[in-house]
């Protein structure tokens, strides 16, 4: 089976982000099953260390993973590149599918929605939301009508599509899958040794955020909540891992709040993410919106509970106090109380918490199972295309 995947990432230079993690885990799993993959991506590293006999990596952009530049370059690239009709096209954003619809109309097509694009516009550019919504919806509708199968990472994107397009009969082509985790990589590791490795072993209570430092992640809520936590729990530390356009603003707010113990680590190598997760007592997520946040599953796989706002499918995952707490309102006092409560649970029942978190991850988030489902989806897409 031959699959074309398009996503603006470099498999030899993995950066933080749920979408990158999702696509890379899927890529590895499909390659291990003997599928032939052509990846349209970006080149961020001079040394391309990720190779495979069944992988053709086409770098259409170098030195940046800027989404808009990637889309424009993909469009110009596909004007000349052609693939046989039996190649299945799989993109991870509706706009990325658009040039394939334009230039490869006969190929089977699968599009994965990792979130709701209009939510991103609403949060980051509220003044342009009404205008963008009109034009974007027209493009998205054309894409939906020209793909064979749509998959969504959790129920949240699915509900958004059904609400926007009640007349498109989406039930015939819409499949919901959770985002998975590499359980061989994300697993419980010795906490005390890792805290010494990263020089944070003097702290008793460690809260960690890992992700993009963006408007979506609503980090001011986390910083304000932590300022309340450290006034009640002595010797506490907030570790912030990631990069993003809001970094300067967030660091400035940290100074203004006079928080004593916040550590900005910045972007890290992919192998460091599970190590840093294992340093934490609790992982925090304060996002305005998410679909099926990968970091929640990665934390649980490492045996670490999560305190999160009520976004995406987290209410289907965090179902008892051993797994963490969901905060229904964007209120720093409530979020701080949830962090303290979860830390107290960890301190009282460390082994029970670790075992229950890991157990849930093993039961529900194996990427091996998700990859098998995608292979069946590709077969369905090929069958549908043949019937047209």
Q: Which residues of 37-55 are buried (b: 16+ CB within 10 A; e: fewer)?
A: bbbbbbbbeeeeebeeeeb
Q: What strands lie across the sheet with 36-43, from one edge to the other? A: 55-62, 36-43, 2-6, 88-91, 109-113, 149-153, 174-177
- 144/132 same-domain check: yes
Alpha carbons 331 and 334: distance in angstroms, whole number: 5
* Stretch (H or E) spanning 242: none
Same domain, 163 and 222: no
Structure tokens at 50: 């990720």
Q: Does 33 fall in a domain? A: yes
Domain count, the chain: 2
pTM of the model: 0.79
The answer to whether residues 104 and 210 belong to one domain is no
149 and 257 fall within a common domain: no
DSSP letters, 337-380, are HHHHHHHHHHHHSHHHHHHHHHHHHHHH-BHHHHHHHHHHHHHH
Are 84 and 161 part of one and the same domain? yes
Q: Give the pLDDT score at 116.
A: 67
What tokens does 260 get?
């004593």
> Dihedral of the CA atoms 327, 328, 334, 335 (nearest 10)?
40
* Whether residue 250 is found in the same domain as residue 360: yes
Q: Does any domain span residue 148? A: yes
What is the secondary structure of 147-208 as a DSSP string?
-SEEEEESHHHHHHHHHH-TTS-GGGTEEEE---B-TTTS----HHHHHHHTT-TT-SEEEE
Question: Residue 213 has what pLDDT?
Answer: 95
Same domain, yes or no, for 267 and 151?
A: no
Nearest to 77 by CA among 100, 90, 60: 60
* The pLDDT of residue 141: 87
The SS3 of residue 322 is: coil
Q: Is residue 186 part of a domain?
A: no
Judgement on whether residues 127 and 110 belong to the same structural domain of the protein: yes
The reply to whether 344 and 263 lie within a common domain is yes
Give residue 64's pLDDT: 93
Contact 231, 262 (CB under 8 A): no
Residue 136 counted as domain residue = yes
On the 0-12 / 13-18 / 19+ scale of CB atoms within 10 A, 324 is buried
Residue 312, Cβ neighbours under 10 Å: how many? 25
- Structure tokens that stand for 319 in this block: 């179902």
- Domain containing residue 246: 191-364
Instruction: Examine residue 13 and state whether it is found in any structural domain, yes or no.
Output: yes
pLDDT for 38 equals: 96
317 falls within a domain: yes
- What CATH number should be reported for the domain holding residue 340? 3.40.50.2000
- What pLDDT, on the 0 to 100 scale, is given for residue 12? 94
Tell which residue, 175, 96, 116, 82, has the closest CA to residue 375. 175
Residues whose CB is less than 8 angstroms from the CB of residue 34 and which lie 6 or more positions away in sequence, other chains included: 54
Whether residue 353 sits in one domain with residue 288: yes
User: What's the order of all strands across the beta sheet hosting 324-327?
Assistant: 262-266, 236-241, 205-210, 282-285, 306-309, 324-327
- Locate all alpha helices (DSSP H) within the chain, ordered by sequence: 18-32, 67-78, 94-103, 117-124, 129-146, 155-164, 191-197, 219-232, 247-256, 272-279, 294-301, 332-348, 350-364, 367-387
The dihedrals phi and psi of 318, each to the nearest 5 degrees, come to -85, 90
Note whether 254 and 311 are same-domain residues: yes
Run means of pLDDT, 10 residues per run, the chain, 388 residues: 95 84 91 95 93 95 92 89 88 91 93 76 73 79 91 83 85 85 93 97 97 94 97 96 94 92 93 96 95 92 98 92 97 98 98 97 86 93 85
Which DSSP state fits 73? H
Q: Report yes or no on 50 lying in a domain.
A: yes
**Is the Cβ–Cβ distance between 250 and 213 less than 8 Å?**
yes
Question: If we measure between CA atoms, which residue out of 208, 31, 198, 38 comes closest to residue 107?
Answer: 38
Residue 185 belongs to some domain of the structure = no
**223 and 125 in a common domain:** no
């Amino acid at each position: 089976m031959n699959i074309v995947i398009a996503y603006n990432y470099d498999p030899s230079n993995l950066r933080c982000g749920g979408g990158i993690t999702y696509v890379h885990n899927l890529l590895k799993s499909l390659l291990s099953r003997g599928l032939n993959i052509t990846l349209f991506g970006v080149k961020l590293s001079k040394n391309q260390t990720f190779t495979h006999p069944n992988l053709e990596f086409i770098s259409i952009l170098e030195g940046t993973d800027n989404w808009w530049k990637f889309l424009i370059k993909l469009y110009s690239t596909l004007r000349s590149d052609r693939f046989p009709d039996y190649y299945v096209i799989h993109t991870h954003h509706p706009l990325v599918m658009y040039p394939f619809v334009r230039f490869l109309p006969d190929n089977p097509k699968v599009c994965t929605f990792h979130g709701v694009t209009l939510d991103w516009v609403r949060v980051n550019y509220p003044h342009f939301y009404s205008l963008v919504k009109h034009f974007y919806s027209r493009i998205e509708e054309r894409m939906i009508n020209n793909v064979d199968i749509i998959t969504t990472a959790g129920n949240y994107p699915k509900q958004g599509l059904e609400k926007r397009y009640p007349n498109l009969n989406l039930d015939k082509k819409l499949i919901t899958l959770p985002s998975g985790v590499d359980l061989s990589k994300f697993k419980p590791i010795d906490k005390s040794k890792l805290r010494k490795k990263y020089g944070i072993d003097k702290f008793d209570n460690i809260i960690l955020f890992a992700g993009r430092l963006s408007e979506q992640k609503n980090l001011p809520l986390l910083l304000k909540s932590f300022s309340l936590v450290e006034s009640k729990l002595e010797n506490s530390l907030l570790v912030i891992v990631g990069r993003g356009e809001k970094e300067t603003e967030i660091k400035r707010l940290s100074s203004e709040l006079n928080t004593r113990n916040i550590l900005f680590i910045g972007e890290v190598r992919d192998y460091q993410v599970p190590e840093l997760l294992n340093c934490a007592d609790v992982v925090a997520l304060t996002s305005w919106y998410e679909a099926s946040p990968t970091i929640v599953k990665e934390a649980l796989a490492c045996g670490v509970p999560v305190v999160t706002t009520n976004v995406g499918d987290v209410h289907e995952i965090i179902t008892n106090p051993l797994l963490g707490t969901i905060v229904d309102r964007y209120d720093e006092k409530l979020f701080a109380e949830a962090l303290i409560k979860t830390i107290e649970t960890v301190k009282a029942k460390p082994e029970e918490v670790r075992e229950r978190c890991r157990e849930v991850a093993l039961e529900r988030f194996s990427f091996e199972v998700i990859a098998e489902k995608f292979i069946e989806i590709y077969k369905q897409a090929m069958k549908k295309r043949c019937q047209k």
